[in-house]
Amino acid sequence: MLRPAKTDQAWWAFSGAAGVFLGVVLGALSSASAEPWKACAFNDQVIGCRDVHHANGSLTIHWQDGLSMTYRLIEEGFPRSLLRDLLGGVWQRDVLVQGNAVFTHAINGNRIAVPLR
């Protein structure tokens, strides 16, 4: 009877762990996409969005039209902080009393409003 080599056993252990990891990631993505769309606004034009907050302080906004952008925390503060988008733009985030957030682009003045719920 043939036995797999030790490298084969290591490969199968790795691929099994990778499969479990992939399943967890895909499950998390599908549960995030199951959340209802919020009534967000870009420059006062209402459009559905979902916001995902990451452990490192960054934030991803998924827009109902299929676009998405991640904003990385560059200066933490409350109720005001600064974030940088993937294109290099700097955004000021203001968290309002009721928990809604307003993001304002530092140069062009674009505004994103994200309600708490």
d(CA 107, CA 91): 9
Residue 17: DSSP 8-state? H
**Neighbour tally for 58: CB within 10 Å:** 15
Distance between alpha carbon 53 and the CA centroid of its chain, in Å? 5
**Is the entire prediction scored with pTM above 0.85?**
no
The full set of domain ranges for the chain reads 1-34, 38-114
The per-residue pLDDT for range 37-83, each reduced to its tens digit, is: 999 999 999 999 999 999 999 999 999 999 999 999 999 999 999 99
Phi, psi of 104 (to 5 degrees): -125, 125
Q: Which two tokens stand for residue 32?
A: 């995030």
